[in-house]
Amino acid sequence: MGITSVKQPNITGAPSSAGLLNGEQIQSAVEEALSSTQFIDVHTHLFSPAFGNLGLWGIDELLTYHYLEAEFFRSSDTTPERYWNLSKRERADAIWRALFVENSPISEATRGIIAVLNAFELPTGSSALEEARAFFRTQSIEEHIRNVLRIAGVSDVVMTNDPLDPEEQPAWLNGGQKHAKFHAALRLDRILWGWPRHWQQLASQGYAVEEKATGKSAAEVRRFLSGWYERMRPLYMAVSLTDEFQFPDESITSKMLAEAVLPSCREFGLPMSLMIGVRRQVNPRLRLAGDAVGKADLHAVENLCCAFPENRFLVSVLSRENQHELCVYARKFSNLMPFGCWWFMNNPSIVEEITRERIELLGTSFIPQHSDARVLEQVIYKWRNTRLTLAPILTNAYRRIHNDGGGISRGDIQRDVNRLFRSNFENWTGRRIG
C-alpha cells in the first residue's frame, strides 16, 4: 500500500518529511509523471508501414477525419453527395475553408489540427495549408512515425485488424507485419454481427460454416481464429456492438461469442474487448461520420462477466449514461476492465467527469484512455489533451489524500500513472509491451 498514514492532517501545504509531498509539490509531481511516462495506446485504427496505403498520415488525411467531416456539414452548404465527389485534396480544402478560415477552430477535433501544426512548428493561420502540405510531403514514414510517437509520448500503439477486410488481408497473407511499435488486435465485427453478409467469405476460404451459423459453424470459426491468432499474434480480440446488444439471446452474435470467440480467447489467453453503444448509420449520407450513440443495456456485460469468469473483458461504452454503471459492474467483476473515453466521450468535459467517477469508484484499476486515432499525427493532440485533462484530476485526487492526513510520494504517483497507462493493459493481455 503506497499511502502512508500520518497522524496530523497537513492541510496547509507545508513541506512534509520523508519524501512525502505537500499540496503544491503534488501538482508538479503529477505533471512530471504524466509527461515522462510513455503510454500504451490500447486502441487505434493506425497501421504500420507494412500495410501501405491503409496507414493514413499527413494534413489532407487529418483534415478529412470523419469527426471533422461531421462538423463540416454544419458549417457549409455543400451537400454530402457533392462532397464525396471531390478529390481528397479538394475535400481537405473545403474543410479548411469552412472550419478554419470562415470559423474559429474551437471544437475538440478542429483544435486538434492546430495542436498538430503547432507541434511541427508550422503556421496555424488561415493561409497555413500549403505550407503544411509541403512539410508532410518531405517526411519519410519510418522516421516520421518515430517522431510522432516521441512527441505524443506513446511507446506502442495497438491497431485494429480485421482478417475479413479485403484490403488488409493480403498484407497478412504476405508475411504480415513485425513493426516493434505496432501491435495487432483481432477485430471480429464481420463475424460477430456481420455474419449474414460475411459467412460466405469464410466458406469460400474452406471453412464448413452455414448461413444460420448452425452445424459445425462455431467449431469452424474457432479453427479460423486459431489460424489468425498464429498469423497476427494479437494482444486481444475485439468487436464494436450497437446500443441494442443483448447477451444471451437467440442471435448469431451471442452464439458465436459464447461458442467460438470466448473459448478461443481462453485458449490463447487473450482478453475480449467490447465497445458498446454505437447506433450505426443513422445518417448514411455522411458515410463513416454517419454513426451515432445510444444507451445500451449493460445487463449484457453483467451476464458475460458472470457466465465467463475465466475470460477477461476490456469494455468501453459510448453513451455517457452508461459510464457510471460500467464502473459499478467493474466493482462486481474483477474480470472486467473499463477502458478509454470512446469517440463522442473524448472531449475534456466528459473525460473529466468519467475519469473522476472511475477514480472514485475504482482507484487505479482501469485504463483511462485510448486515442482511437485513424491518422498518425492525431496521437499528438489526443494524448496531449488527455494529459492536460488528467493532470488536475489526479492532482485533486492526491490532494484529497493529503488533506485527509495521508502521505503521498513521487514514487506513489509514478507507480499509479504507470499502472493506469501501461501495466493495467500489460497485465490484462499477459504481455510486457515495449
264 forms part of the interface with ligand FIX (CB under 6 A): no
Question: In this structure, are residues 240 and 184 in contact, taking their beta carbons and an 8 Å threshold?
Answer: no
CB of 222 to ligand FIX, least distance (A): 24
Identify which range of 9-17, 23-31, 299-307, 372-380 contacts Zn ion by CB under 5 A.
372-380
CB of 158 to ligand FIX, least distance (A): 11
| Between 316 and 355, CB nearer to ligand FIX | 316
Among the listed residues 41, 61, 156, 372, the single contact to Zn ion using CB under 5 A: 372
| Between 240 and 254, CB nearer to ligand FIX | 240
| Between 372 and 377, CB nearer to ligand FIX | 372
Q: Determine phi and psi for 247, rounding to 5 degrees.
A: -150, 130
| Between 71 and 372, CB nearer to ligand FIX | 372
Question: In this structure, are residues 285 and 81 in contact, taking their beta carbons and an 8 Å threshold?
Answer: yes
64 forms part of the interface with ligand FIX (CB under 6 A): no
Cell 500500500 sits on residue: 1
CB of 31 to ligand FIX, least distance (A): 27
265: Cβ contacts below 8 Å, ≥ 6 apart: 236, 237, 271, 272, 311, 312
Among the listed residues 183, 358, 374, 402, the single contact to ligand FIX using CB under 6 A: 374
How would DSSP label each residue in 274-310?
EEEEEETTSSGGGGGGG-EE----THHHHHHHHH-TT
CB of 238 to ligand FIX, least distance (A): 8
Q: What is the number of alpha carbons within 13 Å of residue 348 lying toward its C-beta?
A: 16
Among the listed residues 372, 377, 412, 416, the single contact to ligand FIX using CB under 6 A: 372
CA quadruple 296, 302, 307, 311: dihedral sign: positive
CB of 373 to ligand FIX, least distance (A): 8
220 forms part of the interface with ligand FIX (CB under 6 A): no
- Residue 131's SS3 state is helix
Cell of 364: 487505479
Map residues 318-357 to x or -, x wherever contact with ligand FIX holds by CB under 6 A.
-------------------------x--------------
DSSP-assigned letter for residue 273: E
CB of 381 to Zn ion, least distance (A): 16
Map residues 295-324 to x or -, x wherever contact with Zn ion holds by CB under 5 A.
------------------------------
CB of 70 to Zn ion, least distance (A): 15
Comparing CA positions, the residue from 104, 44, 92 lying closest to residue 68 is 92
Q: What is the number of alpha carbons within 13 Å of residue 249 lying toward its C-beta?
A: 11
68 forms part of the interface with ligand FIX (CB under 6 A): no
Give CA 29 to chain center in angstroms: 26
Phi-psi sector, 269: left (phi>0), alpha (psi -120 to 50), beta: left
Site for ligand FIX in 272-301 (CB under 6 A): 275, 288
392: Cβ contacts below 8 Å, ≥ 6 apart: none
Site for Zn ion in 30-89 (CB under 5 A): none
Site for ligand FIX in 222-241 (CB under 6 A): 240
Residues that bind ligand FIX (CB under 6 A): 160, 240, 275, 288, 343, 372, 374
Residues that bind Zn ion (CB under 5 A): 372
